[in-house]
């Protein structure tokens, strides 16, 4: 076939086969982890709690030849909640001014006499009876061992020639074990005992201090008496 007047004719081309897949691109950069939050600092432990359960409001004295109560407090049930919880008593007892008078102190918990010293001038152990113008300070810890027992740790400090020449001189002086302010010739004695078969959870027990003198004309007195609860 001839076509003298035809121009060039372009025929559609045939689509070739698909090319092979290209090589995989390079891996993207790894993402960074988020910053961990900062932990708060631990709080400080609270200090052991100390509560004053009872304090005498004035000097208490007796001229009785038999023991008379000068300090008494009923410790309610379940007061000593945990082992090592402690009742602490601090007391200062002044004797008469005459060395002819015999005076005594009796300390009890749960109707049990507490051992509060053992040394040569004492002849009514576990309570104290002495002659003369000495005064004595007492510190007693009643420590819970279990719900049925307590440990008694006691200290007694003797103040020699205290108050001679005046009626209970310096009787309001603050007393602390280990301090000799305004005193001479002091000594410290210690004792320990255990009381068992108690019910500290369900029963109230009484802490009591009693005094006596064998001369009704020469009184003796408790000038400081404080009972604390110390929570461990």
DSSP 156: E
Is residue 58 in a domain? Answer: yes
pTM: predicted TM-score of the whole model, two decimal places: 0.69
Is residue 121 in a domain? Answer: yes
Residue 160 CB coordination number (10 Å): 14
Structure tokens at 170: 């310096």
Q: What is the per-residue pLDDT across 24-38, written as a single tens digit (0 to 9) for each? A: 666 655 555 544 555
Is residue 44 in a domain? Answer: no
Is residue 218 in a domain? Answer: yes
DSSP 196: -
Q: In sequence order, what are the beta bridge partners of 188?
A: 157
Is residue 26 in a domain? Answer: no
Q: What's the pLDDT score for residue 118?
A: 53
153/56 Cα distance (integer angstroms): 22
- Per the structure, the complete domain to which residue 95 belongs is given by 49-231
Of 33-47, 59-73, 181-195, 213-227, the one with minimum mean pLDDT is 33-47
Structure tokens at 97: 């001014």
Cβ atoms of 105 and 93 within 8 Å: the answer is: yes
Q: What is the per-residue pLDDT across 42-81, written as a single tens digit (0 to 9) for each? A: 545 445 699 999 998 777 878 888 899 999 999 999 999 9
Is residue 4 in a domain? Answer: no
Which CATH number covers residue 93? 2.60.120
User: How many domains are contained in the chain?
Assistant: 1
Percentage of the chain exceeding pLDDT 90: 31
Strand positions, DSSP E, 96-148: 102-109, 112-113, 128-131, 135-146
């Amino acid at each position: 076939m001839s076509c003298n007047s035809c121009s060039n004719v372009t025929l559609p081309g045939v689509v070739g086969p698909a090319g092979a897949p290209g090589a995989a691109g390079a891996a993207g950069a790894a993402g960074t982890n988020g910053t961990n939050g900062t932990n708060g600092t631990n709080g400080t432990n609270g200090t052991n709690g100390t509560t004053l359960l009872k304090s005498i409001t004035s000097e208490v004295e007796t001229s009785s030849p038999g023991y008379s109560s000068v300090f008494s407090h009923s410790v309610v049930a379940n007061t000593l909640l945990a082992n090592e919880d402690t009742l602490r008593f601090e007391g200062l007892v002044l004797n008469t001014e005459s060395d002819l008078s015999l005076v005594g102190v009796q300390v009890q918990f749960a109707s049990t006499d507490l051992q509060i010293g053992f040394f040569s001038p004492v002849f009514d152990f576990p309570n104290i009876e002495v002659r003369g113008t000495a005064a004595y300070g007492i510190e007693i810890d009643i420590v819970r061992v279990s719900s049925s027992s307590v440990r008694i740790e006691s200290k007694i400090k003797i103040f020699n020639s205290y108050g001679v020449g005046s009626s209970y001189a310096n009787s309001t002086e603050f007393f602390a074990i280990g301090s000799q302010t305004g005193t001479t010739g002091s000594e410290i004695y210690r004792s320990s005992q255990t009381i068992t078969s108690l019910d500290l959870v369900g029963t109230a027990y009484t802490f009591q201090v009693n005094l006596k003198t064998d001369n009704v004309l020469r009184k003796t007195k408790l000038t400081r008496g404080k009972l604390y609860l110390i929570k461990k």
